Amino acid sequence: MSIQKPTLPKGTRDFGPQVMAKRNYILDTIKSTFKLFGFQQLETPSMENLSVLTGKYGDEGDQLLYKILNSGDFLKKVTAEKLSKGSNAVLPLVAEKGLRYDLTVPFARYVVMNRNDITFPFKRFQIQPVWRADRPQRGRYREFYQCDADVVGTDSLVCEAEIILMIKRVFSELKLNDYSIKINNRKILTGISEVIGEPGRESDLCVSIDKLDKIGWEKVREELEQKGFSEASIEKLGPIIDMGSKDKFEFLQIFLASSEVGLQGLNELREVFDLLGSFKEDEEFVDFDVVLARGLSYYTGAIFEVKVNNVSIGSVSGGGRYDNLTGVFGLEGVSGVGFSFGVDRLYDVLEELELFPEESLKSTTLMVAHFGEDALSHGLNVLTEARKLGISAEIFPDDAKMKKQFNYADKKNIPFVIIIGSEEIKSGEVTLKNMESGEQRQMGLQEALKQIKQSV
């Protein structure tokens, strides 16, 4: 029998203990911020009915959904006639479920299904993996974690301002100090499409404009021409693309003068900036980006995207307001706003900038090293006392040479070792070694544990 070489599906990864320690450093920072702002945790299943997922992410998103084959004989309903009509005719017969593409649509489904038990406004956060059948590349995976925070059941722009505050707090805690929170409003983009003479085509306009920083204006221009935008309309976009450092609010007040919805979006955005002032928060790191579009089709108001500067990763966070998302599930008039952190991308950013603190890698604070069987038995008592004080501690389980035991502590980045041999058993004391400084001293067990406790 040939030995099978184990492999992973492309675009997925294992997370070993060191990587998990770093990931938890990020996740704990995000979680504590969400809780500080009054959000409660929620989890939904990995799979959803395809009817819940399709049509919510635009055509591109629908193509990236992972479908799950029906259990049992999944081909039993497929006739030769259906097969001849292609995959679109066959899919509903062989797959009823799919892996979730994001956390927002499952959240909307949850809200509708539990509307009688929820207190509105409902503030929830969710940290779970999502799946996209994308082409794997650096910073883009097929399985990755999202951290979402959403508020539903209120139109208040305080929620938008608080999203900016949460992003700033998380980045400050992670020691990131060169980034940009790009913010815009979909109503402004709707207004722009009206002003250039292409009303109702903001979705097409947005999908193309969203690629501006990736492919440049000339290529976006070509794409708009291919979509049937007139030469005159594209020319009218010119001043928006070339706005440079002009006062954006002033410029748009004039540019959008003929569009009621465009001016409404501009006023909403102005209010978000005013609210930041009420929070005694400055506008540092916040950038009003008129051509920020975000391709997802369900945003209706404010939209956010966060990029860390001078790194090779794309955006690390994004979101926006969606007034009509629950409407597709039969619950009208529930407005929501939310955003998501891409943990995997944040991980790559912190790795690239070498910002993970050394202490985030320490899992065990104390290891007990011992000479022989009697010392092992004595050491177990030391472990119990250490853990009673909340010190994470372990004992080297085998009877091994001291060098091997110290190597183990070294590789696991354990800062303290208590050594127990026949002398320590006789004297009732322990030898405490600081692995960083190399200093070691004999002392009573409680004194040693107190020193360890104080240093962590």
Q: What is the pLDDT of residue 362?
A: 78
d(CA 291, CA 4): 51
pLDDT tens string 426-441:
898 999 999 999 999 9
Answer yes or no: are the C-beta atoms of 418 and 440 closer than 8 Å. Answer: no
Other CB atoms closer than 10 Å to residue 215's CB: what's the count? Answer: 12
Residue range 363-455 forms a domain whose CATH class is alpha beta
Banded model confidence at residue 275, pLDDT cuts 50, 70, 90: very high
Instruction: Give the residues across from 34 on adjacent strands.
Output: none
pLDDT tens string 233-270:
888 888 888 776 678 999 999 999 999 999 999 999 99
Q: What is the pLDDT of residue 2?
A: 79
Banded model confidence at residue 85, pLDDT cuts 50, 70, 90: low
The residues, any chain, with a CB within 8 Å of residue 404's CB and separated by 6 or more, are: none
| CA dihedral angle for residue 15, residue 17, residue 23, residue 26, rounded to 10 degrees | 180
Q: Where are the domains of the chain?
A: 12-65+101-177+309-361, 179-293, 363-455
CATH code at 12-65+101-177+309-361: 3.30.930.10
Q: Which residues are annotated as a binding site?
A: 102-104, 132, 146, 150, 294, 298-299
Model pTM? 0.84
Q: Which residues are annotated as a binding site for L-histidine?
A: 102-104, 132, 146, 150, 294, 298-299
CA angle 139, 18, 103 (to 5 degrees): 45
pLDDT tens string 172-225:
999 999 999 999 999 999 999 999 988 888 878 877 877 887 888 889 888 888
Q: What is the pLDDT of residue 296?
A: 54
d(CA 124, CA 31): 11
pLDDT tens string 378-409:
999 999 999 999 999 999 999 999 999 999 99
- SS3 per-residue string spanning the chain: CCCCCCCCCCCCCCCCHHHHHHHHHHHHHHHHHHHHCCCEECCCCCEEEHHHHCCCCHHHHHHCCCEECCCCCCCCCCCHHHHHCCHHHHHHHHCCEEECCCCHHHHHHHHHHCCCCCCCCEEEEEEEEEECCCCCECCECCEEEEEEEEEECCCCCHHHHHHHHHHHHHHHHCCCCCEEEEEEEHHHHHHHHHHCCCCCCHHHHHHHHCCHHHHHHHHHHHHHHHCCCCHHHHHHHHHHHCCCCCCHHHHHHHHCCCCHHHHHHHHHHHHHHHHHHHCCCCCCCEEECCCCCCCCCCCCCEEEEEEECCCCCCEEEEEEEECCHHHHHCCCCCCEEEEEEEHHHHHHHHHHCCCCCHHHHCCCCEEEEECHHHHHHHHHHHHHHHHHCCCCEEECCCCCCHHHHHHHHHHCCCCEEEEECHHHHHHCEEEEEECCCCCEEEEEHHHHHHHHHHHC
Interior/surface letters 91-130, b for 16+ CB within 10 angstroms, e for the rest: eebbbbbbbbbbbbbbbbbbbbeebeeeeebbbbbbbbbb
Per cent of the chain over pLDDT 70 is 95
